[in-house]
Structure 1
Amino acid sequence: MGGIHVLENAVVGFIGTGVMGKSMAGHLLSAGYPVHVYTRTKAKAQDLLERGARWAETPGEIAEKANIIITIVGFPSDVEEIYLGQDGLVANGKENTYLIDMTTSTPSLAQKIHAEAKKKGMHALDAPVSGGDIGARDARLAIMVGGDEEDFKRIEPLLQLLGTNIILQGPAGAGQHTKMCNQIAIASNMMGVIESVVYAEKAGLDPENVLKTIATGAAGSWSLSNLAPRVIQGNFEPGFMIKHFIKDMNIALEEAAKMNLDLPGLALAQSLYRKLEEDGLGDKGTQALYKYFMKSL
């Protein structure tokens, strides 16, 4: 096989050092990889720079210096600019570079990036993640990958530094479709989790005691175990921002419409979260859905 040996000669570029990206880039630094970082707000990368990461002024500069580039940014428009823009990764990258987009984006854009990268002799994978800030911090993310199997096998050792459940789901775009399945399941589950906490409080129960019981039974879920405690503590800071969750739900509903598929639970969740965004809570965590119910009481 041509290209690079991931574990020996990798120079990593990392774009997007937000809630999750900062921890993820940190794991790569801890593993001894040289890491070049770019993010729109340089202050968000300061901790990484102090640990030895090198700053790049543009995505194009990242492309010139790195042969494995990971991105985790906000919206599909950001992904398209970073990959396909004039100063982007595909235009400025080297042959045999591996491009790994871990943003939750659209399957069609992942397929487009894959095709454009292939024209330049580059290898593109869509690899969105689930697990939030906790999963990123603990390197226990679920990583759902779309792309060519040979490329996946080459890059898998690097992904193992970031997650514990890493599965190639199919060709380009399959990772993004899988992430939509993830977000669809979360959307209705989050409504149930928050309604459960609200019900416990209104019934005069101790919600912490309730959680100790129901989290170990059939109601158990990641959101119930990890986000319900934050609600009870009044902590609505983001492990995953509402505005990004709305973006994901929009993508899932658009993809569902293309398949003539009706998803009423997802549509309801989207409508509730949109109301929170209208109230200025778009930068809060998804558990801030609690505030919708408090407002309506």
Structure 2
Amino acid sequence: MTQKIAFLGLGLMGGAMAANLVKRGYSVIGWNRTQGRPTLAPFTNAGGTLAQTLQEAVSDADVIFSCLGDVPDVTEVLIGEHGAMNFAKANALFIDTSTIGSDAAKVIANALMHDGLRFLDAPVSGGDVGARNGTLTFMVGGNPEDLQECRPLFEAMGSNIKHCGAIGSGQAVKLCNQTLVSVYMLALCETMQMAKKMGIDPQLVVDVCGSGAAGSWALTNLGMKVATGDYQPGFAIKHMLKDLRLVQEISQGVGQISDSQDFATNLPAIALAIENFQKVSQLDDGQGAEQGTQAMIRAYHSA
């Protein structure tokens, strides 16, 4: 427990993850770009220390976790002109749990390593439920020795820690994960529509189908939310659209896809998922983007 930990980004996911580190007895100092957010409460209530500045958070840390938004956010906070790498001590290990894609992870890793620092890309899956319960899946790219050094930290926050390969590999697997998750949501919304039309209790669908070949995390955790119109975010639509943008960028690069028409032909299910998420994100004067991914069902209602 002698490792000193910094945790940058105490949002819905990061706040709960950092809190679990504190609960395991680690010394954690957290930092969030916006002070006063309710998502800071799990961390501070667990006994975590809040830093007022980025420098204060990272200057004495052995391991620096980050859980931020999009590529520009992670880049600015970690390697920007006033980023964390400017204040970190030599050989500190940076672990980014955001979803930013392989290319961005490699750029950040190169900048950090050039400055005598280390890096793992370690995006997560499991939603806010997994973050609170410490049951997240971590998809880790980077030096396996670095992973082994901090494995107990991962185990404080997750139940499945998988080394995926070199730097960027964790991000690659995460985008595969998001491809599956987004298509599951299409199936889940259409299933609940069918159940309603046939007069079947949606809880029965969750219980019975969830115990067989159709079982999935999405069905178990989000099925009844779709059915009852509970759109509170565990993972917001705006974040899923960001992740699917990265999927689209990778697909266009790897497959030499030249335009959106070709993308829809090569990955039609993803194209439909993007279309539906975008429809919902534009509802409520743009506030639909803040709702959970299960709010995709609203695209069917508005059709």
1:67 aligns with 2:71: no
Distance in 2, Cα, partners of 1:22 & 1:287:
22
Distance in 2, Cα, partners of 1:206 & 1:223:
17
1:34 aligns with 2:27: yes
SS where residue 139 of structure 2 aligns? strand
Matched with 2:107 is: 112
Deviation of 1:89 (Å): 1.5
Q: Which runs of 5+ in 1 are unaligned?
A: 1-7
Distance in 2, Cα, partners of 1:221 & 1:50:
33
The equivalences for 1:270-285 within 5 A come to 270-279=274-283, 280=286, 281-285=288-292
1:137 aligns with 2:104: no
1:287 aligns with 2:275: no
The letter for the 1-side match of 2:27 is P
**Contact preservation (8 Å) 2:16, 2:42:** no
The equivalences for 1:49-198 within 5 A come to 49-198=44-193
SS where residue 30 of structure 2 aligns? strand
SS where residue 196 of structure 2 aligns? helix
Residue identity (%): 36
**Contact preservation (8 Å) 2:93, 2:119:** yes
1:214 aligns with 2:209: yes
Matched with 1:20 is: 13
**Contact preservation (8 Å) 1:49, 1:55:** yes
Deviation of 1:57 (Å): 2.2
Deviation of 1:58 (Å): 2.7
Deviation of 1:50 (Å): 4.0
Deviation of 1:150 (Å): 1.4
**Contact preservation (8 Å) 2:15, 2:41:** no
Distance in 1, Cα, partners of 2:74 & 2:61:
18
**Contact preservation (8 Å) 2:23, 2:46:** no
Distance in 1, Cα, partners of 2:10 & 2:17:
8
Moved segments of 4+, more than 4 Å: none
SS where residue 160 of structure 1 aligns? helix
Cα deviation 1:131-170 (Å, max 9, x = unaligned): 0011111111110001112111111111011111111101
Deviation of 1:47 (Å): 4.2
Instruction: Give the TM-score taking structure 1 as reference length.
Output: 0.93
Distance in 1, Cα, partners of 2:233 & 2:220:
16
Distance in 2, Cα, partners of 1:291 & 1:121:
49
The letter for the 2-side match of 1:277 is S
Count of aligned residue pairs for this structure pair: 289
Distance in 1, Cα, partners of 2:11 & 2:19:
12
**Contact preservation (8 Å) 1:75, 1:104:** yes
CA separation of 1:57/1:86 partners in 2, compared to 1, >3 Å: closer, same or farther?
farther
The letter for the 2-side match of 1:287 is Q
Distance in 2, Cα, partners of 1:112 & 1:9:
30
Distance in 1, Cα, partners of 2:121 & 2:81:
21
Cα deviation 1:230-271 (Å, max 9, x = unaligned): 222321101100000000000011001111073221111011
Distance in 2, Cα, partners of 1:88 & 1:63:
10
The letter for the 1-side match of 2:282 is E
**Contact preservation (8 Å) 2:9, 2:15:** yes
SS where residue 49 of structure 1 aligns? helix
The letter for the 1-side match of 2:156 is L
Matched with 2:194 is: 199
